Structures are given as C-alpha cells and as structure tokens.
Amino acid sequence: LAASTTPRKARLSRRDAGVLDEAFDRCGAVCKEYAKTFYLATQLMTPERRRAIWAIYVWCRRTDELVDGPNAAHTSALALDRWESRLDGVFAGRPYDMLDAALADAVAAFPAVDERPFRDMVQGMRMDLAKSRYATFDELYLYCYRVAGTVGLMTVPVMGVSPGSQAGVETVYAGALALGVANQLTNILRDVGEE
C-alpha cells in the first residue's frame, strides 16, 4: 500500500483526554447499536485497538449516511467535497468535531493506517450520487471496492497481523479486501429481493 500523502501531526494532546474519552465512548455506543456482533468482536481487542476500530466504523457509517441516510436526498457533490476536506483535517490532526477527533487520534496511534482507502470510500459515495446500475462486473467491482473493500484496508493496520502468521501482509490485505467486496455483493443480492 502506498504511504499517506498528508503529513500527520503527533497524537492529540492528552490534556483533552476527557473529551477524547467521551468521543471514543460515543463511537463505541454507535458501534454497539448498529453493529452488535461486530461490537462484541471488538471486545476481544486491546483497548487502544478497539477504540480505533470504533472510530473507523463510525467514520464509515457517517460517510455512508451521506448517501443512504435520512438526508441523502439533499447530499450533493459539494457536500462530499466538504466531507473530504474534513478527512484532510483528520489526517492532519485538525478534527472538525469530537467524532473526527477520535479518528484523528486513532490514525495517529496507528501510523500504518493509510488515508487512500478513506478517500476511495468517498469516491464510492460519489458513485452512489451518479448511478445505481453497472453495465459490467468491472464497474460493479470498483463500486464494491470503494464502498466496502476499503473497510478491510482501513482496519488491517489497526487489527494487525500475528507475528507467527504463515500469511504475508500482502495476503492479509488481499483477504480483507476480498471479504469487504464479498460482503457488499451479498448486500446487493439481498437488496434485489427486497426491491
């Protein structure tokens, strides 16, 4: 994976630890409410990894809500431009709000987290604004990569790879990407029956 292009500031000051703790608590509450089994799995992680995963989950959820949430009809390309500018702030250590602050702290704590998958996810949301049908599997795959495969790429650096693993890091990333794409394809197939 390519290295991040935005220079990162050091982790947020611990003098704001109370606010940061509250931000992570909110992230955990959102994860617990909307992704119950995923939340339970995070309980097996170290506290620092768990909090970082919650922050990533919440950012992904907020990003998805821009095009799939209750106000999605009002989301424009300009709104996604603004969201992407906020992402710049996260990776530069200048968060916009407390949930962004949790993610900023997480990406500072885990410098291997690359901003490219986050940007790619925003591009997936742009695809949602432009079209809902894909003529080829290659187009569909690109969409699935952007809206779901990216999640695996965001989280592997936090979850890590066991030092004793027989699989190389590239294999782990490929597996995480494939799992995300497969989950999105499954979601699409499930939606076909409902719609």
Q: Which tokens hold the place of 187? A: 């979601």
Write out the DSSP string of 14-27: GGGHHHHHHHHHHH
- pLDDT interval class at 193 (50, 70, 90): low
Long-range Cβ contact pairs of 129-135 (< 8 A, separation 24 or more): 129/67, 129/75, 129/76, 129/77, 129/80
What is the number of H-type helices and E-type strands within the chain?
9, 0
Domains and CATH numbers, the chain: 16-194 (1.10.600.10)
| Single-letter amino acid code for the residue at 193 | G
Calculate mean pLDDT across residues 97-126.
95
pLDDT at residue 7 is higher than 70: no
The more confidently predicted of residues 192 and 126 is 126
For residue 9, pLDDT over 70 is answered with: no
State pLDDT tens for residues 83-96: 999 999 999 999 99
Using one digit for the tens of pLDDT, what is the confidence trace for 35-92?
999 999 999 999 999 999 999 999 999 999 999 888 888 888 999 999 999 999 999 9
HSE-up of residue 33 (Cα within 13 Å, Cβ side): 8
Is the pLDDT reported for residue 14 higher than 60?
Answer: no
